[in-house]
Structures are given as C-alpha cells and as structure tokens.
Amino acid sequence: LKSLLKDPSLLETRAYINGEWVETGATFDVKNPARGDVIATVQDVSRAQTEACIADAEAAMKPWAALTAKERANTLRRWFELMIENADDLAAILTAEMGKPLAEAKGEIMYGASFVEWFAEEAKRVYGETIPGHQPDKRIMVLKQPIGVVGSITPWNFPNAMITRKAAPALAAGCTFVARPATETPLSALAMAALAERAGIPAGVFNVIPATDAAGIGQEFCENFAVRKLTFTGSTNVGRILMRQAADQVMKCSMELGGNAPFIVFDDADLDAAVEGAMICKFRNNGQTCVCANRIYVQASVYDTFAEKLAAAVAKLNVGDGMEDGITTGPLITPAAVAKVEEHLADATSKGATLLSGGKAHALGGTFYEPTIVTDVTQEMQVATDETFGPLAPLFKFDDVDDVIAMANDTIYGLASYFYAKDLSRVYKVAEALEYGMVGVNTGVISTEVAPFGGVKQSGLGREGSHHGIEEYLEMKYICMSV
C-alpha cells in the first residue's frame, strides 16, 4: 500500500494523542477485505490511555474555544484543503482497508472534506439572540457556547466521512474531539489526523485512538465527567447500549443508527430513472450504507418491467478488488456480513420469493458476493424488518398508495426513504406521509453537507450537516440582566 501513495507518511499506524504520535504497547492488524492480507499493524489504545487522552482534550479545550471563530475557521479551512490535495492517497488508504472501489472512495473523501469546508464557514455564524425583556429593567441575551469534550464512535462503512461529519462541527464550535474509529478502518482516521497536524490544529484538539476495546472505550466516554457529548454512528443495538450508559451522566448524545429504507416505484414514475436511482441507492458501497434501499416496493402494473430493467442494470456491475480499474462493486467487509445476506436470502426464498439475479458467493471467493435480486417478496420475510446491509435487492409488489405508505412506515426505523412518481399531489402526499428523517423524491442520492442528515424513531437523535449540524455541539446560555 505504501508504494501506491504519493505521500507514504500518510499511512500512519500510531495513535494520535495530544499532538503526539504514540506507541501504546499493544497492536492489532488491519486487513484488506478484497485480498484478506494484513496491510498494517496499528497501535491499540486501552481504556486507561483513553482516559488520559480525554484529560488532554479537556486541557486543550479552553485555548481552542478562546480563539476567534475566524481563527478556528482558517485552521479548519486549511485541513479541508489538505484533504483535497491528498485526496488520491486518502482514497487509496480507504479502499485498501474498507474495500469500496477507488472512484467511490475518492467520492467519499470529497464528501467527507465538504463537511470540513462547510463547518469552517459555519464556525463564524454561531449567532446568539437577544430577547425583549419580560420586565422594564430586564435585558435578555442568549449565548451559544461549545458543549465540551466530544467522544466519537464511528463505523467502518464510511471511514472518512463519518468522522468529518462529527469532528468538523465540533471543532468549529470550539469543542475538542476524541475519535475512536472502527477497528476495521483506523487508517483513514489516522491519515486525517496527520493532515490535522499539518493544518495546525493545536495539540489535544483532534485525537484519534484506534482501539479494539470498543465497549471499554464506550464506557470511558460515558463515565468520564470531562466528556460532555457522545456522538455515535452505528447499529441501533449499540446505540441503545450507549444511550443507557450515557444516562448516568445525563450526557448529550447524537445517534445516527440503523435504517430500513423503503424505495417506492409508482406506476407514473420514469422507470429508467427509477432503475438508475435504485442501482445507486441499493448497490453503492455494495449495499453497506445506512441509507441504502432495503425494501423496494413496485406498483403492480410496472413490477415486471422494473424487475427486468433492474436485472439488466445489475448484470453490468463489475465485482472485484476496488483497487482495479472498472470495478463497480467491492467485497463485503467481513464473513459475518456475507452470512447476513445469505440468511436474508434463504429466509426469503424459503417463504416463496423467487431469485432473479445472483444469489450466491461470487466466484472470486473471500467476501465477494453476487449482486442479487429477489422478486415476490412479502412483509412476512426477514428483509422487510431487518437491515440487510449487503447487495440483496428485494422487490415487493403493491397496488394501492395508502397500502404502500403503511408498509413503508411499518418499521422501528426512520432514516432514509425514497420514491419515484410524477403526479404532483401524489408526490406531496407520499413525501409528507413517510415517517423518515429524509425523503428522496425521484433521486437515489440525498447526502450532502448542506442538508440535515438524520433519522426519526429508532434511527437516531440529532442531525449532521447543514446549519443545524453545529447546534449538536453547542449549549445555550441565557443571561438575564437587570439594568
């Protein structure tokens, strides 16, 4: 991997704590999911070392928060520019540890960097308020102040962007940040730390602690009084555990959890556009995103045509090592991820679903899996309630608009949803009725730094991106003055 990089020093394996590159006395291996080989041996940070890191972040907080917003903005801007300048290397590191095709990895780097650019700008717009007093002598002012040290836990599916979406608004607000990346993908986070150092982000402000003891670090974040905010992206189950733990300290939490996105194709939809949207929405990152279409509902009169067109598009996917040219679809992250796809498929076919494409491990072996479509899927099958997180597209058939809205909403999740339709009153009705934090209408791509990303129901709490995103890292203070 080092030989592929223009700047090999970005392949960092030490922890980044308080501005120092640290050897911790323990290590763990990072594997390339496409080839199974070990690409790096990374320093493993313990819970006790995390406690020390939090103390450093606490000490770094006052001077960082005391800078003018413009000073913080300029440093963040520099960090953003360095990410763009080093995008090719960051993408190569990301593909090597995570498996997504290089072009997609580059897309993630640009997307991830866009949050740093955006929040560098937003840093300067943390406006307070004045409120007309409630008595003749009273003057009321509302300040917004950084909440404190932030503990962050992120997953492997977007090793760069899941961190920038949290770190950029936190740093912009004046908080300091301790990032615990997923064990599978610490290298992207460490490369970002190397660039943070070069950008002049002061020691202790942005720390990266690769660690295998996820549960221990999670407990430390929740039990350490210096940490005032926990930001998490991952499964709903782990989110629940962390919220329970955070309750003891009444800690503020942002939770970006699981989804079970419906993707609805109505009979008045542009079917080619719907197929294109479904391809991106279902097969991007090999189905491993929390906003991936999990259930595809197609109106009866266009069901067969849509299925045919989707199968033709799926046949063009090119599965392989993401480092190679022309690959559209990488491996799954782990054997467990493959097992989940297989379980959902076996459950569906045993209950009457029909296999249209794929349906087995890919000839390449490892964790490669054939992009798969099943038809005749019903609400009784596991795919209806459970996030597959893999390349399995289940096609459900529906007749009635109200029925499909009810089916789409029949889930504990509420992150992303999508539908394709042209009739304006139908578009409004469905967009308003879907119980989701995000609705894509005639598009399968909704993520952008300018809009609030997040879920309702058990998909989470809080929003990332947009001018709302920085509020997650600010507290309001109201000052009442008698004059």
| Contact residues: ligand ADP, CB under 6 A | 153-155, 182-183, 214-215, 218, 234-235, 238, 241-242
Which residue's CB is nearer to ligand ADP, number 115 or number 156? 156
Q: How far is CA 401 from the centre of its chain?
A: 31
Nearest to 200 by CA among 305, 78, 309: 78
Is 256 considered catalytic here?
yes
Residue listed under structure tokens 């953003």 = 80
Which residue's CB is nearer to ligand ADP, number 76 or number 163? 163
In the complex, what is the shortest distance from the CB of residue 31 to ligand ADP, in angstroms, rounded to a whole number?
15
Which residue's CB is nearer to ligand ADP, number 218 or number 358? 218
Nearest to 91 by CA among 28, 35, 7: 7
Task: Judge whether 396 and 295 are in contact, CB under 8 Å.
Answer: yes
Which residue's CB is nearer to ligand ADP, number 153 or number 196? 153
Which residue's CB is nearer to ligand ADP, number 182 or number 474? 182
Tokens of 248: 């003891």
Count of beta carbons in the 10 Å neighbourhood of residue 125: 11
Which residue's CB is nearer to ligand ADP, number 32 or number 299? 32
Nearest to 96 by CA among 45, 155, 36, 42: 36
Where is 297: in which H helix or E strand?
A: strand 293-299
Task: Judge whether 115 and 168 are in contact, CB under 8 Å.
Answer: yes
In the complex, what is the shortest distance from the CB of residue 286 to ligand ADP, in angstroms, rounded to a whole number?
14
What are residue 157's phi and psi, to 5 degrees? -75, -25
In the complex, what is the shortest distance from the CB of residue 109 to ligand ADP, in angstroms, rounded to a whole number?
20
In the complex, what is the shortest distance from the CB of residue 185 to ligand ADP, in angstroms, rounded to a whole number?
9
Contacts of 256 (CB under 8 A, 6+ apart): 232, 233, 234, 290, 453, 454, 455, 459, 460, 462, 464
In the complex, what is the shortest distance from the CB of residue 26 to ligand ADP, in angstroms, rounded to a whole number?
16
What is the amino acid identity at position 266? F
Length of the chain: 483
The catalytically annotated residue of 256, 370, 387, 471 is 256
Catalytically active residues are 256
